[in-house]
Amino acid sequence: MKKIFLAIGLLCGAAFAHAAEEVRLWHALSGPLGIELDRLVARFNASQDRYRVVSFFHGPYDAVLADDLRVRRGTAQSPHIVQVQDTATADMMRSGAALPLWQVMKEHAPSAQSRYIPVVAAYFSDDEGRLLALPFNISTPVLYFNRDAFREAKLDVSKIPSSWYGMPSVLGRLLESGRPCALTTTWPSWVLMETMSAWHNQAFATHHNGMADGPARLAFNTRLMVRWVSMLSSWQKSGYFSYSGRSDEAEARFSSGECALLTASSASYDRLREAAQFDFGVAQLPYYDDFDEAPQNTLIGGSALWVVGGLPASEYRGAARFLAYLSSVDVQAFWHQRTGFVPVTEGAFELSRRQGFYRGHPEHEVAIRQLLAKLPTSDSRGIRLSELRRIRVIINEELEAVWRGTKPPLEALNTAVQRGNLLLEDAAVR
């Protein structure tokens, strides 16, 4: 009996000695995207036996995650890695809740190196170009067009206007053919205001859109934006442009066939493909061709994975190994091809191209080409403002006043800048 108990003790001791170290990941991906993430987690866990990643769906992006992180940080329930929406990047940096990714990787996975797509890396990097978080589910606005609607209007589907100046004749023909809605958009602030500024290399806010030191203030009431919102206002009155809502309501109007053109996230493609009963394509976002610096590069949207601070140093080895795995070329190419998110590394893009993925899925290359159009500038890297989510609400409110005809475009833009700057000033003294 003594020998039996001794053997059991030795076996238990060996099991505990070789127990995998747990790495906790909080994320906001549900449905098919959550399944794809779980598939990556399972593949990582199966590839080695030292670490075991456990993923927790923590609900949609909102303040709940931040509140829960504040309560649990540094405890046994604290996550090691947390997915944070891009609009909360400035808040995450200011909170001190995270460790810089470059530091974690340098200490625990120094051999893991990837060449990131410049504009993707730029948004999540510090002034020295060092990554603060791992870009993960990334997309950018593109133009979707209903090929069947174009054919019915006797329009050439191979000649989608690259300039906004060439769009009115197309929109008019679509309406004349009986299409009830020519053009609509999702996420107006991100697509129509923020991305349009970067696409033309125009400042959205001072201090490099909040990415440089100093008290950033909104500055998007420019000649470009006055012209752009004025044009959309006139299109709204003539029926060329139709407002659908503040988030992704426009997707349903496009996939039902009601609207022939849609500006929306590149990551919406698979969802639209599943819902639409017609042939549609993806084209580059149009621009004003009389702006010398356009097209520059479009902005990214999505989220990044942050390493949470306040835990014992020994617990970060597993987090670093998992993040190195996620940024590897093979895994990035797999994630890109399975989800429709753009690859965040140049290697994953090249691998997907060599594998022939874009020959069968040319629509997925459009977004990447927009992001790679030029190296990002100080005005096209991104918009990193602490109150960006609330600023977007203000912008949407003022744009809605324009669509209703209760405010002229210049007044609405000036008001949006003034109201948004009050938020930034209040945040600076908190």
Report the alpha-carbon angle 42-46-49, nearest 5. Answer: 125
Please report which residue ranges of 249-356 form alpha helices under DSSP H.
250-255, 269-275, 316-326, 329-339, 346-354
Supply 370's token pair. Answer: 């927009």
Q: Is residue 181 part of a domain?
A: yes
Q: Are residues 284 and 340 in the same domain?
A: no
373 found inside a domain: no
Q: What is the mean pLDDT of each run of 10 residues along the chain (430 residues)?
A: 44 50 93 95 96 89 57 70 90 86 91 85 92 96 98 97 97 97 98 98 97 94 97 97 97 98 97 96 97 96 93 92 95 96 95 97 96 95 93 98 97 98 88
244 shares a domain with 112: no
Quick one: 304 and 267 in the same domain? no
Structure confidence at residue 76 (pLDDT): 61
Identify the domain containing residue 250 by its residue range: 142-299+387-429
Q: pTM value?
A: 0.92
CATH code at 60?
3.40.190.10
Q: Calculate helix-pair angle for 223-238, 388-404, nearest 10 degrees.
A: 50
pLDDT of res. 93: 86
The confidence score (pLDDT) of residue 109 equals: 83
Is residue 253 domain-shared with residue 328, that is, in the same domain? no
Instruction: Let me know if residue 380 belongs to a domain.
Output: no
Residue-level pLDDT at 67: 56
d(CA 9, CA 268): 55
Would you state the pLDDT for residue 72?
63
Q: What is the pLDDT of residue 428?
A: 81
Per-residue model confidence (pLDDT) at position 124: 94
In a domain? residue 369: no
* Domain identity same for 211 and 161: yes
Confidence (pLDDT) at 73: 63
Q: Could you give the number of structural domains in the chain?
A: 2
Question: How high is the pLDDT of residue 8?
Answer: 41
